[in-house]
Amino acid sequence: MLALDLKQRASKFMRKLPPKHRRQISEKILALQNDSLPPDSERLVGFSYRRADIGEYRIIYRVEANILFIPIIGKRNDGEVYKRLKRMGG
C-alpha cells in the first residue's frame, strides 16, 4: 500500500463536502493507495499526473517513490481543476 500525501488544498476541499461525498472520495483514495493504475484512471496529457473520477468529483494524483501524492480534488465538469494544476506547474 502506498503512503498518502494529501495536500492542503485537496484536504480543505474535502472538509467542505457533505459526509456522503467525503466518504466516497476517501474510499477512492484508499483504492488508489492499493492500485494506483486502475482501469478507470487516465494520464493527463502534458502533465506528470493522472486523474481518477468518483461520482461528480475528480482526483488529480501521481505516484512518487511509494507515495500517492494528491494535490487537487475538484468538481468533474469544472475547468478550475486544470487551471489550478497549470498554476502549480503540473
pLDDT tens digits in sequence order for the chain, 90 residues long: 999 999 999 999 999 999 999 999 999 999 999 999 999 999 998 889 999 999 999 999 999 999 999 999 998 877 788 888 888 876
**Considering the domain 3-88 in this protein, what is its CATH number?**
3.30.2310.20
Instruction: Give me the half-sphere count of Cα atoms (radius 13 Å) on the Cβ side of residue 17.
Output: 19
Counted residue by residue, the chain has a size of: 90
Q: What's residue 90's pLDDT?
A: 63
| Residue ranges with strand state E in the chain | 3-6, 41-43, 50-54, 57-64, 67-75
Q: What pLDDT is stored for residue 60 in this prediction?
A: 95
Given this model, what pLDDT does residue 52 score?
96
Would you state the pLDDT for residue 87? 85
* Rounded distance between C-alpha atoms, residue 6 and residue 36, angstroms: 14
